[in-house]
Structure 1
Amino acid sequence: MLTSFLLLSAVSAQEPARDLEACIEGVVFEANGIAPIGEEIRVQLGPNSTTTDSFGAYSICGDPGEATVVWTRDSGEVIGSLQVRLVEGVALEILVQEKGGQGAFDVSGVEAAEESTEISEGLQDLPMAIIRGLVTDLSGRPLANAQVLVRGQSARANTDSSGQFELEAAQGVVELGVILEGYANRFVPDLILGEAGLSDVRVELPEAGLSLAVFTVTAPRIVGGTADLLEERQQSSGVSDVLGAEQMSRSGDSDAAGALKRVTGLSVVGGRYVYVRGLGERYSASLLNGSLLPSPEPERRVVPLDLFPTSLLESVVIQKTFSPDMPAEFGGGVVGLRTRTIPKEAFIKLGLSTGYVHNSTFQSGPMGFEGSRDWLGFGASERALPQSVSDAIFDRPLEESDMFSNRGYSAEELEALGESMPNTWAVGEGTALPKIGVSMVTGKSWERGESRFGALASGLWGQDWDASEYVKNYYLVGLGDEMELAHAYDFTELERDIRLAGALSLGFAYGDAHDISSTTLINRSSTATSRIYQGFNRDVATDIRVSRIRWVERMLFYNQLRGSHEFEGLGGLTLDWRGAYAQASRLEPDRREYRYDYEEAADAWYLSDRPEGNSIFYSTLGDELWDSAVDLKLPFKLPQSESESWAKAGFAISDRSRGVDTRRLKYMHKGERSGLFEVLSSPVEDIFVPENIGSDGFQFEEVTRQTDNYSASQDTWAAYGMSNFEAGNRLGFMTGVRLESSAQAVQTFELFNPDQQPVSALLETVDTLPAAVATIRIGPSEQLDRQQLRLGYGRTVSRPDFRELSPATFNDVTGGRQIFGNPELGRALIDNVDLRWEFYPEPGESLSAAFFYKHFDSPIESIVVVSAQHSVTYQNADSAQTAGVEFEWRRSLGMVAPKLQDWFASGNVALMRSVVVLSDNSGIQSSNERPLEGQSPYVVNLNVGYEDPEGEKGITLLYNVAGPRITEVGALGAPDYVVQPVHRLDMVGFFEFGPGLKLGLKAKNLLDWPNVTKMGSEVVSEIHDGWSAGLSLSWKG
């Protein structure tokens, strides 16, 4: 075992020596920098011996002269030995730190001992000066009881409760050493100490678990690192989980949605929507740097988290216990995204990545119109309506006028407009190319006096291709409740995703008390999809073939200005404020869809004259949000308590508005030519040509529905008060209350019909929401920071989405059943109880077990009602309950064998069960008592990995599975649609070489487990995503 010895100082004879003996003092540390807990180390100096105390400290004296000091474990294992020269009246201070691995111990401390002794003896006549300074951790938190020493001198001091220290040392060039249990030793060399002294020395200590060598911090604690975030979770006043940049990098996930499936009790639906503890998307909220976010989804307020690349994020915190400073629509939890912070040192990082997907890359698939700027994600302009059509539909519907109304246009005008539409109907063949991505991030900070300014900029571009083939079956309940096949289709699809994102952060700080920063983020995600499905349709008793060409652009713009100010003259009062403006948009221009039916007698396909025979679709969505908040926090101490308590109060205001504009156009079968077989059996691009467009063939008209367009708003204000009490060292209490008012309004309106009143819905609520959390620290008094128990309660709400409040009937513009809302919906109340035990054996390691229970009063659930298409609407159910347990662990495998010190194992398991009870008159769904939609009964994540001490290479194996979940409620005796478990195995590795170069390897979905959806025992769909391999190269300078 390699053992390193660190000689800090030789104490001169000016310090009273023990009867003029020669002495040695010091501390024994493990490899991670923490003194052995619960194990005494025997120290032998000649015939004399002693043992270390509970902090690993020792002191032993002997006769002057050459001597050997030996450190031994209780088991008899010799940690190491060192020969030193002891000088009468001088005490040497030697720190011993183990390091994993085999080899001889380091004896370089012999020369240092002799040199240090000579220096000490020569300092007696030098003038003295004062050194003052501050010791903090890397986050800036002051550290008390740290030892500060001067190399080669007797000067030493301990930091006070505010991290301050003061000591007197001989003038000249000095080196400070700082020691604190649980943190890595830190040394500050080459300080010039003159007659005026030094008054602004600041020393930051990284956690001991991240210090891997003496004198050099080779892997310092970084913001977003595992140890950093585990400490944040440990010190939080509620139940939370954390995911840092380090973990996201190890898992190889490219966006926040993919990374979050690794978190305890979280599952991701559709690749973008996060379910916390199995609860649907309505039961979670998303924040960016503490501010609310708008949504680009037309039928949802939820934020799709695939919009956020992990390269732009520093960390994600999932808070599972409600606290009064969180939004009332807390539900299962809040996902808090944090963008990267400004670095302390200038850097630039460039990245390039590529990837291959089995059964997709280099495979062919259908491809529609391709614009010249699609590769940048700006394809909407080339798919825009012609100016003549855009002007025509601005104030009038595109329909044929008559003698009784001035609405619409003449047949000749409609023909001209129809002929002006671009002929982009054809679906050809394309090839799925390899994935590719480029990224850049750079930052720098400047200091002038007490002022600091910094900037961080990042950007990325990437595109993914996916070619797929799969089968979908549709069933009906037949005689004897047997499932009968209604439709069976074979799908071929080619999808291209383009992502373009950029972020800019600016920060200014004055001293340690004032900090102002701004964050601007622009994130674009564009998708081109061409799809063809073909198969038997029971309604027409023949095969049909449906083709669709689609382009969707989603964008999120976010700008936030925030600040924090501490006023020492007001008892340490802290003022935090933030203001944000965000805008989300979704643009879907020129979606084309058409259908051919097979005519068996003629052995030919012909264009269908049914309503879905052909369509052109345009839709835009804009969602705006203003969000602001102010918090005041005042620290205080309770009598007979050394720990700091605090009281906090604040208010928040948000104003959200949304508008959706949708237009549907179609070439109607009007005249004789629209019924000619030779026309209808032609390719679609040869049908909609000028000679076939007009009143004698296909007439261009508008078929926009009266429920396609709506506007909505939500105004929210809240005030809260809360306090965190530290009653001694073992007990902590957080308690408080939030008062929140909300007013939601939705108007669904028919275009150009002044006689038709808009369909309106309004929901106004005021709620008082209490919360409380008790934290009990367990164990011996010197280890209270290692183990704790939390018990929490909170009341939260769940409010309807905008469209759920409108009684107007609509079809989800993204596809699906016919839906109409319910203006009588009320908000749901949720009572949440959490109990969690946490144990932190070492920095960067944790064990936890948790139980949670939620009771829903009037939860909002979807029901199926009688109609031609079995429409879906919404109703407040009587009640619902969900409960579960969660287990999580992260440990070094060094506890199994010392050779495995650099290997780690982590994972989490969540087991959940829920039941929702609907009233007996709640529609025609097959069951009025079932699990909550979207909840999986279990979620499992298992990880094992290796990372060398220098952080230059590593590999991680990751396994994930989520249990079956309901995606759509069955009706009239038909079973529910249930997505089956998908077992995923991923492997991610990296290797650093050369100056700043890093090679990344990624293999995902190695099992290629099929994505299967079932109705009872019948398979509805089965899709193989294919395994993938990726390669990335980055440089940091």
Structure 2
Amino acid sequence: MTNCAHYRKLIAVVSFLFTATAVFAGTIKGHVYDGLTKEQLIGANVVIKHELKKVVTSLDGGFTFKGLENGTYELKISYVGYAEVDTTIVIAGAEVREFNIYLFPQGVTLSEVTKSAAKDGSTDQYAQKREQFANNIVNIVSSKTIAISPDITVANVMQRISGMSIERSSTGDGQHAIIRGMDKRYNTTLVNGIKIPSPDNRNRYVPLDIFPADLLDRIEVIKSLTPDLEGDATGGVMNLVMRSAPSHFIAEGNVGTGYSQLFLNRDFHSFKKAGVNSKSPIELSGPGVYAPVGAFPYNNLVTDASKPPINKNVNLTLGNRFLHNKLGVIIAGSYQNTYRGSNSQILQQSATVPPAPNDHIAQQPAVSDDFYREYNSRVDRSGVEAKVDYAFNKNNSISLFATHLQLNERRVRITSDTLLGGYTLPNDFIGPYAIHTKTETRSDLQSINNITLQGSNALLEGLTTDWSLTAALAKREVPDIAEFSVGQKVTPNAGTGTYTLGTLQTEDESREWIHNTDKDLAGYLNFHYKANISGKTELISFGGMYRHKERDNFDNSYILTPVNDKDSVYQKFISIPDSKFQFIPANGALGNASQNPGIYHAYENVYAAYGMLKYQLTSRFELIGGLRVENTHQNYMSSLNDALPGKSADINFMDFLPSVQGKYAFSKIKDIRFSYFRSIFRPAFADLIPFPDKSGSNDTYLVEGNPYIKHTVIDNFDVRYELFPKGLDQFMIGAFYKLINNPIEYAFAPYSTTSGNYGATPILSPQNFGTANNFGVELVFRKYFGNFGVSGNYTFTNSVINATKLYVYLTPDNTTKFTNVPDRRPLQGQSAHIGNFSLLYKSAKNKTDAQLALVYTGERINTLSQYKGFDNWEKPTTNLDFSAQHQFGKHYILYVKANNLLNTPFRLVIKQHNNAYHTKTQLPFQESTDYMTVQYDRYYASYSIGFRFKF
């Protein structure tokens, strides 16, 4: 009993103390904002004077002091570059005192508070505000987000954006973007709002890996078009906004290094670029001159195997304003040197497929070769941008922007090519007829140069104008693609399941020179008039543009035949320097330039005019509508033989492109948008001209144009609900629908338009596929919990094309029957499911950021086949990346980045029952009886470390 009495007393004392503490423990909490922009300030210092208590505002600008005794507290709130604020708070009882603090930049007076302030477009806060108040549906990524992400190129950043996936190059790096399931050809790339030409020798779309990410202020992905935007962007517009002059002096930079795990497991193969002839013999000597064999030196075919040096990444930005802030100047440069590669296995598909045994069984794919390839690339990526702007006054300004981008890849591809036979080995693999070892070296040099003069002027009361004059040049040079091959015949040993390799023989050597230029001259003129309609001030805009595009393309190749040994019908291989060649026939020394359709000149003129009205129906409901008219004139002349179709063409078409955008605001943080617009896709010149080449991203099959394709017209519908609760938190959900007339997709064709003959290797050719429907749902979210956060997006896309495919089977009387059967499939490149999810950590107090980012891309069609069920599908991929950084003092940041931590492979499959899996006709690297694997690539992880500085 005594112990129970003691326990009761103890409990009573504890309860009293707890109650007393609760009564006299108060809380002070609040948020700190920029007084001009109303954006939260992250990392502001909030100090209770005389108490030695200090906190740092979190990601939403918030702060909290708990457990405060009753009394009066003096607070000091400060942030770098802002005037300090002192305030006094009284705590009485267990109350929570909550309030907001607004800080103003130093030197700003209260009378200036109502004036617009210069905004830093590189911040997450600015990006979110721009999304919220934009005229159209847009997603924006700030340079601050890019800096702390695992990515160093724009292409890799794109995969983090809602509705976007990327296509990768042979090294595993992102190269092109697919937006909302619309293939890369349907998207447009702008720099500072101006369309730029592409260095790609076949396509309009710009290779996004040419852009170093650290040159950018932000990335804007515009998904609905207003009439003032060019109409050839169905998937979306990728506007890459470069750095602008700051409001004060800055000096920023980055130095980093890294390594690829791939080259911890094998050697890196390289060649000396000094041995590469920049021009083909016909360019040096003129047409009609036979090139001597000595004009094709072997130096660039001799490769060295070693461990590559470490990667390098440096950049520097300097900027300031002068003449009482009227003149702004910024210059930025970036250089990245990386060593990348992959290990690739490919089954080359045959152009013709054996018929099915009857009309109830699917045809089986036919393959001719098994390739094992090692890619080795040294990639040098550099960029310089400079901008000068001058503000005459608040209504008149002018700017001059220039940029140079360069992407040089020097690649060695080593291929073991097994020509498959019809017998089996003890491991049940199909035996070879021959084995070839091929070494290909190429230098791929791409550049984009752009200079733009822009101005903004007030003309009359309520009437303003903005204009742009731009000149741009994109170039690609692929000098001397050299391939040297040796081979061994294979003789099966009867009844043993083994084979014997023959003598190593020197085989044909190929050399090819490709270069092209794409020049743009363009002018834009826009007028904006603030009119009074029904007592409201509305904005009327109208204007136009003109662009002249001119393109020159050159392609010349040679085939050199080995000289037979004196006592043999072949040349025994000794070494590359000892190999001897000749031209058979002799006129092969002229190259194929005389009738090569890859040599052409083309131009395109686009005239456009538009009118647009921005009308505020109510204080909550805003409409933007108008019409854009675009006239296109295309003309080309190629070197194709006169007897073949597609030598030249003159094409004209006009499009009327209406657009309506609407926004209804439920509150300051909640709204809904809707839009309709019509857009087009113009075929690239190489889509029209039937020249075959293998210089693009798909270097397994020849790609050839089609002179009969038509341009694509698309009707687009969008709706999106948006919520911006507080800070950087956001939630968006939307839906879209696209009706596509004459979609253009690349498919396997059984024969070449140029020759009209069937070949052993199928040709990839652009084709129109009737009418397609594409619809989907997008979800975007971001939420912070103190220093931790989650962000992500998910896109479901469903597209349908109703087309026909070829199905071949044997009739009961053993006759081959060719039929066209219906085929219902999604768009090429469209994944039904795309998802991003990131775990975030951001501590303003500890000055540490970290991000674990996962990207999921669902299966999608990579290449179309003319045969039923033979389309090549990419298997789903899950990529995991990590990045972290820590700031030391005020000026220095140490960072680490790691990519492809899961070593996610790239796989292409044919969704047919696989008769070549665990059978007597088994093929290599097969995974299942449910599908045939035709390509399996591994890239492995890559790592980088470095530091940034900012003054």
TM-score w.r.t. structure 2 length?
Answer: 0.79
Mapped to 2, the partners of 1:111 and 1:980 lie a distance apart of: 58
SS of the residue corresponding to residue 214 of structure 2 reads helix
Residue correspondence of structure 1 range 8-47 to structure 2 within 5 A = 30-33=30-33
Instruction: Please report how far the alpha carbon of residue 822 of structure 1 lies from its aligned counterpart in structure 2 after TM superposition.
Output: 3.6
Instruction: Tell me which amino acid in the other structure corresponds to 1:457.
Output: I
Aligned to 1:702: 591
Q: Is residue 2:927 matched to residue 1:1029?
A: no
| Equivalent runs, 1:521-540 vs 2, <5 Å | 521-538=403-420
* 8 Å contact from structure 2 (residues 152, 212) kept in 1: yes
CA gap 1:1015/1:325 in 2 versus in 1, 3 angstroms:
same
Unpaired runs of 5+ residues, structure 1, are 1-27, 36-78, 84-96, 113-136, 139-147, 153-180, 192-197, 207-219, 372-380, 399-413, 779-783, 894-900
- In the alignment, what sits opposite 1:491? 373
Q: How does 1:250-649 map to 2 (within 5 A)?
A: 250-270=148-168, 271-361=174-264, 363-371=266-274, 382-385=276-279, 390-392=283-285, 394-396=286-288, 398=290, 414-415=291-292, 418=294, 421=297, 423-448=299-324, 452-475=326-349, 477=353, 480=357, 481-483=363-365, 485-538=367-420, 541-566=433-458, 570-571=461-462, 573-600=463-490, 603-607=501-505, 609=507, 613-636=508-531, 638-639=533-534, 645-649=538-542
Per-residue CA deviation, residues 322-356 of structure 1 (Å, 9 max, x unaligned), is 21011111211111111111011111112111112
* Alignment CA distance shift 1:951-1:754 (3 Å): farther
Q: Are residues 628 and 676 of structure 1, via their aligned partners in 2, closer, same or farther at CA, if it must alter by over 3 Å? A: farther
Q: Indicate how the Cα distance of structure 1 residues 951 and 508 shifts in structure 2: closer, same or farther if over 3 A, else same.
A: farther
Q: How does 1:830-909 map to 2 (within 5 A)?
A: 830-867=714-751, 868-869=758-759, 870-893=762-785, 901-909=786-794
Deviation at 1:696, TM superposition (A): 12
SS in 2 for 1:432: coil
Amino acid at match of 1:429: A
> Is the Cα contact below 8 Å between 1:854 and 1:881 reproduced in 2?
yes
Q: Which residue identity lines up with residue 371 of structure 2 in the other structure?
A: Y
Q: What is aligned with 1:792? A: 675
Structure 2 letter corresponding to 1:552: D
Provide closer, same or farther for how the CA distance between residues 592 and 921 of structure 1 changes in structure 2, counting only shifts above 3 A.
Answer: closer
**Does structure 1 residue 821 correspond to structure 2 residue 710?**
no
Q: CA RMSD in A?
A: 3.6
Q: Equivalent residues in 2 for 1:676-695 (5 A)?
A: 676=568, 679-688=571-580
- Please tell me whether the aligned partners of residues 184 and 205 of structure 1 are also in contact (alpha carbons under 8 angstroms): no
Residue 9 of structure 2: aligned partner: none
* Partners of 1:1032 and 1:763 in 2: CA distance: 52
Q: SS at the partner of 1:331?
A: coil
Contact 1:726 1:733 in 2 (8 A): yes
Deviation string 1:957-981 (CA, Å, 9 cap, x unpaired) is 1111111111111233452111111
Deviations 1:736-756 (A, max 9, x none): 110111111222215xx8999
Verify the 8 A CA contact 2:864 2:871 in the aligned structure 1.
Answer: yes
**TM-fit CA distance, 1:560:** 0.8
Asked if residue 805 in structure 1 is aligned to residue 805 in structure 2, the reply is no
1:926-945 residue CA offsets vs partner (Å, 9 max, x unmatched): 86432111111111011121
Q: CA 1:484–1:347 in 2, change beyond 3 Å: closer, same or farther?
A: same
Cα gap change, 1:105 to 1:1030, in 2 (>3 Å): farther
Shift of 1:81: 12
Q: Residue 975 of structure 1 corresponds to which residue in structure 2?
A: 870
User: What is the correspondence of 1:58-97 to structure 2 with a 5 Å cutoff?
Assistant: none
Where does residue 1014 of structure 1 map in the other structure? 909
Distance (whole Å) between structure 1 residues aligned to residue 868 and residue 805 of structure 2: 15
Alignment of 1:914 onto 2:799: yes
Q: Is the 8 A contact 1:926 1:970 kept in 2?
A: no
2: CA distance, partners of 1:106 / 1:347: 45
Match of 1:185 among 99, 102, 107: 102
Give 3-state SS (helix, strand or coil) of 1:841's partner. Answer: coil
Partner of 1:952: 847
Cα gap change, 1:892 to 1:686, in 2 (>3 Å): same
Q: Structure 1 CA distance, aligned partners of 2:282 and 2:652?
A: 41
Contact 2:282 2:289 in 1 (8 A): no
How many Å separate the matches in 2 of 1:81 and 1:391? 78
8 Å Cα contact 1:878/1:919 also seen in 2: no
How many correspondences in the alignment? 819
1:657 aligned residue:
550
Between 338-347 and 841-850, the greater mean CA deviation after superposition: 841-850
Summarize the alignment of residues 739-818 of structure 1 with structure 2, pairs less than 5 Å apart: 739-750=629-640, 759-778=647-666, 784-806=667-689, 808-814=690-696, 815-818=699-702
Take 2:177 and 2:393, find their aligned partners in 1: how far apart are those partners?
39
Partner SS for 1:823: coil
| Equivalent-residue separation in structure 2 for 1:369 and 1:674 (angstroms) | 33
Find the aligned partners of 1:964 and 1:890 in 2 and give their Cα distance. Answer: 26
**Deviation (angstroms), 1:954:** 1.0
CA-to-aligned-CA distance 1:894-923 (integer Å, 9 cap, x gap): xxxxxxx12221110000000112367999
* Alignment correspondent of 1:724: 614
Give the share of equivalent positions with the same residue, in percent: 19
Residues 151 and 992 (structure 1 numbering): CA distance in 2 closer, same or farther, change over 3 Å?
closer
C-alpha separation between the residues in 2 aligned to 1:200 and 1:919?
70
Paired AA for residue 735 in structure 1? G
| SS at 1:772 equivalent | strand
C-alpha displacement at 1:446, in angstroms? 1.0
Structure 1, residues 999-1029: CA drift from partner, whole Å, max 9, x if none? 0111221222222111121111222221222
Question: 1:311 aligns to what SS in structure 2?
Answer: helix
Which residue type is aligned with residue 137 of structure 2? V
- Which structure has more RCO (C-alpha within 8 Å, separation ≥ 6)? 2
For 1:88-127, what aligned pairs fall within 5 Å after superposition?
99-100=63-64, 102=66, 104=68
| In 1, Cα distance between equivalents of 2:84 and 2:487 | 87
1:230 CA displacement: 1.2
CA distances 1:515-534 after superposition (whole Å, capped 9, x unpaired): 21111111111011111111
**TM-score where L is the length of structure 1:** 0.73
* Contact 1:805-1:825 at 8 Å conserved across structures: yes
Report how far residue 272 of structure 1 moved.
1.4
SS, match of residue 259 in structure 1: helix
- The aligned counterpart of 1:403 is none
Q: For 2:806 and 2:489, locate their aligned partners in 1 and report how far apart those are by CA, in whole Å.
A: 44
SS of residue paired to 1:31: strand
Tell me the alpha carbon deviations over residues 66-118 of structure 1, each in whole angstroms, 9 at most, x when there is no partner.
xxxxxxxxxxxxx99999xxxxxxxxxxxxx9623656589886699xxxxxx
Aligned to 1:63: none
| 1:454-496 superposed Cα distances (whole Å, 9 cap, x missing partner) | 1111112121112432322235555653345532222122111
